[in-house]
Chain A
Amino acid sequence: MVNLTLHATASSPQVQADEKTGILVLSGESYPENSFDFYRPILSWVADFLERDRRSLTVEVRLTYLNTSSIKCMMDLLDAMEDAHQAGREVKLNWYYDQENDRALDLAEEFKEDLTLPFTIVPVPSEG
């Protein structure tokens, strides 16, 4: 098992997955040319981590924007976490959004509606 690091581009987020701490952080924009190709290694990392041992997984989402195919990939990620949660694993999701942007809040809330895992929505003060 290895860590996963992807550097941000104008349309894809920075990704930092730490095997030791069990923390996955996604931050930045998410409207890559091909979301499925972009998210595949992230989904694989999470699946491997959840299979490998019984430690807790924390996912931190700090995305300013998601296009619809990123939303679909995010749903796959959250469903994998939800399955683990249902199976008794400790998983946590912290979703950060710009407090001046209620569209970003709407999106987080729509995800949360269908899930029972610990899901915290955290407002963040706007940058300038």
Chain B
Amino acid sequence: MGDLHAIRQFLASEGILMSFHGPFRHGILEELGRALRKHLESESTRKPDTTDVFSVYIEAAQNVANYANRHNGGDPAGARFQQGVVVIGRQGDHHIVQCGNFILPADGPALLARLDHLSGLDAAALKTLFKERIRADVEPGAPGAGLGLIRMARIASRPLGYAIVPGEDGLDFFSLTVIL
């Protein structure tokens, strides 16, 4: 382990309010969410802003948990998929939520294509797409509606930041940055 004082200095200098690295299980995400809200309330964030930060956190984290659940079926890398990282910070007037997880390299191109598509849409187009997808059929067995990224793009004050880099054990690492 590194020097704790150095870690603290890094967290403080980056404006990090909360960070978590570990299994993205539902019960843990609930507890982290509760802590995040309390933390935001204590720094007297306006209610709509607290809702926005919480929304981005929940959508990003549940995407990771859902992805891990889909890959749990006998895959030796199943546990690895559940190990995500989420960091919530503040820089000036902006809250920033970053979330990352391991993915199968085969899943990368489709994910990047979706994000590239979203980054080209303005607020009106994102709203239209969100409304279309709300009423679209969900594939059987899907845990989510595929709406999370669209909601995050609507909340964000800048285009979503994203990257896929080579990870470990033949997996890639996906990271998402949302500036509110």
Contacts and interface: CB of A to CB of B under 8 A. Distances in A.
A71 B147 contact: yes
A10 B148 CA distance: 20
Contact of A103 (B34, B51, B135): B51
- Pick the most buried of A68, A72, A100: most chain B CB atoms within 10 A of its CB: A68
Given A65-B51, A68-B150, A102-B48, 11 more contacts: A33-B65, A34-B143, A36-B142, A36-B143, A67-B62, A68-B59, A71-B147, A72-B134, A100-B47, A103-B47, A103-B51
Interface of B: 26, 30-31, 33-34, 47-48, 51-52, 54-55, 58-59, 62, 65, 127, 131, 133-135, 138, 142-145, 147-148, 150-151
How many chain A residues sit at the interface, stated as a range, is: 20 to 34
A29 B34 CA distance: 11
Contacts of A25: none
6 contacts: A10-B34, A36-B138, A75-B135, A101-B47, A101-B51, A110-B131
B145 A72 contact: yes
Contacts of B58: 31, 67
Contacts of B52: 103
Contacts of A68: 59, 144-145, 147-148, 150-151
Contacts, number: 65
A79 B135 contact: yes
Nearest to B150: A68
Contact of B48 (A33, A65, A101, A110): A101
A99 to B, nearest CB: 10
Q: SS class of chain B's interface: helix, strand, loop or mixed?
A: helix
Contact of B30 (A10, A101, A110): A10
Contacts of B30: 10-11
B59 A11 contact: no
Contacts of A10: 30-31, 34
Contacts of B143: 33-34, 36, 69
A67 B155 CA distance: 13
A35 to B, nearest CB: 8
A72 B59 contact: no
Contacts of B26: 11, 33
Contacts of B142: 36
Given A71-B134, A72-B147, A114-B131, A103 B48 contact: yes
